[in-house]
Amino acid sequence: MSEKCYICEKGELLKKKVDVKPYGVSIGKFDAQVCTECNETFFSEQTSDKIDEVAKIKGLWGLEARTKIGQVGNSIDVKISKKIAEFAGLKKGGEVRVYPEGKNRIIIESA
């Protein structure tokens, strides 16, 4: 008898290898328990620590940042931290494509 999901309390948890992708970059497959109903994924504490360790080594750690929206003329100005810019390969003078994806997300893509 497998365990019930802690989130939906309906599905059962099956052991699977899950591809972990912090910030959309795969860092390998790790043992997890995945709910058959809601697909929620659970990692053991030990596995979570291992994932954090690998993510840190690969520079996929702490890339998220909060920033205030400014204004320059008629345009909105959003500052991107150096860490995120370097990760995404953005450089001063470079070109990017900016477009919305849904109502609360904007994609900035290297051109």
Please list every residue from 83 through 102 that binds Zn ion, using CB under 5 A: none
Q: Which stretch binds Zn ion (CB under 5 A): 14-22, 37-45, 47-55, 72-80?
A: 37-45
Is the distance from CB of 43 to CB of 51 less than 8 angstroms?
A: yes
Give 2 or 110: the residue with its C-beta nearer to Zn ion.
Answer: 2
Measured CA to CA, the distance from residue 50 to residue 71 in angstroms comes to 42
Give 35 or 51: the residue with its C-beta nearer to Zn ion.
Answer: 35
Among 35, 51, 55, 60, the residue binding Zn ion under the rule CB under 5 A is 35
Question: In terms of DSSP H, where are the helices of the chain?
Answer: 45-57, 82-88
Considering the rule CB under 5 A, would residue 5 count as an interface residue with Zn ion?
Answer: yes
Considering the rule CB under 5 A, would residue 37 count as an interface residue with Zn ion?
Answer: yes
Measured CA to CA, the distance from residue 30 to residue 19 in angstroms comes to 7
Measured CA to CA, the distance from residue 63 to residue 82 in angstroms comes to 10
Among 14, 38, 57, 106, the residue binding Zn ion under the rule CB under 5 A is 38
| Identity of residue 38 | C
